[in-house]
Every structure is written in C-alpha cells, then in structure tokens.
Amino acid sequence: MSDQKPDGWVDFRAVKEAVTMRLLFEHYGLDLDKYKAIGDERKLSCPLCDGKSRSLTVNIVKQNFQCFSCKARGNVLDFVAKKEGCTIKEAAHKLAVWFKVGNTVEPHCLTPENKSPDALTILAEIKARVNQLEQLLQQKA
Ligand SMILES: [Zn+2]
C-alpha cells in the first residue's frame, strides 16, 4: 500500500497543472522523447501492465494516456493511482510531495525585510511599556 498517508488537503488542479505526462514518466525513469512519436502522441510499453510492446499511448499535449492492453486510461492522477495501487487522492498527495506542488517554502519569506518581529523584540517592547505604566502609576501615587 501507500508509504505516505494523505494528511490533508491536496489541490488536484494545481497538481495536474504542475505535473505533465513528461515529468511523470521521467519520475518513473522513462524519457517520453525517446519513444516513437506520432504527432503529440508517444507509443511505449505500458508500465502499468508490462503489456505488449507499445500498447501505451501518451498524449503529451492533452496530458492523458491510454493502454490498449490493460485498458487503463486517464490523466497523471489516474496513472499514479493505477501504478501505485492507491486512490486518486493518495495519488495527488504523492505527486504533490514528489514534485513539491503547493507546499514549497516561498524564498522571499526568509529575507530580513519580511521577517516578523521575533519573540524577544516583542517582549522588550512589552517590558518598556510596562516600565512606562509603572512610572505613570508612581507619579500618581
Ligand atoms: Zn497497460
């Protein structure tokens, strides 16, 4: 079964937009450009059924696939679900992890300009404010 449990919300559309058939097959060690091309389609042996030669047709523009041997067909999510023996949701989660979709750290968040005040700075400000208030109270007393 799956080695990664789906632990929350996965943006299916973001995954499908980010991960092309070409990238997906690269992940499985297959370079689609090396296979027989007919227009936008590539013909290769199906990794899902290890079927007859070139039973799998992958359309690199429409981003879908179809196997004439095992009848599997669909998009990148369908392919991973079949290949990994998991659900579509788990497939989306796997792809999000493999290709770092959605949960990547934004580099600009780490620059000093955008750094929010840290706890010590906030504490110093609170202490200064408390001192001011204490002085006011003493003056009134
Ligand atoms: Zn197949």
Give the pLDDT confidence score for residue 123 in this predicted structure: 82
- Exposure string of 100-139, with b = 16+ CB inside 10 Å and e = fewer, is ebeeeeeeeeeeeeeeeeeeeeeeeeeeeeeeeeeeeeee
**CB atoms closer than 10 angstroms to residue 82:** 20
Give the pLDDT confidence score for residue 118 in this predicted structure: 75
- Bridge partners (DSSP) of residue 59 are 41, 64
| pLDDT tens-digit profile, the chain (141 residues) | 444 444 567 888 999 999 999 999 999 999 999 999 999 999 999 999 976 678 999 999 999 999 999 999 999 999 999 999 999 999 999 999 999 997 544 444 444 444 566 777 878 888 888 988 888 888 877
Q: For the chain, give every domain's residue range.
A: 12-106, 111-141
Q: Dihedral of CA 117/118/122/128: which sign?
A: negative
- Å from CA of 71 to ligand 1 middle: 6
- Exposure string of 20-56, with b = 16+ CB inside 10 Å and e = fewer, is bbbebbebeebebeebeeeeebbebbbbbeebeeebb
- Å from CA of 131 to ligand 1 middle: 74
- Å from CA of 65 to ligand 1 middle: 10
pTM beyond cutoff 0.75: no
- Alpha carbons 83 and 85: distance in angstroms, whole number: 6
- Å from CA of 82 to ligand 1 middle: 10
Give the pLDDT confidence score for residue 117 in this predicted structure: 64
- Alpha carbons 50 and 139: distance in angstroms, whole number: 87
- Å from CA of 35 to ligand 1 middle: 16
For 2, 13, 18, 56, 68, the CA distances from 73, given in Å and listed in that order, are: 21, 18, 19, 9, 9
CATH architecture of 12-106: Alpha-Beta Complex (3.90)
Strands 56-59 and 64-67: antiparallel
- Å from CA of 73 to ligand 1 middle: 9
Give the pLDDT confidence score for residue 102 in this predicted structure: 75
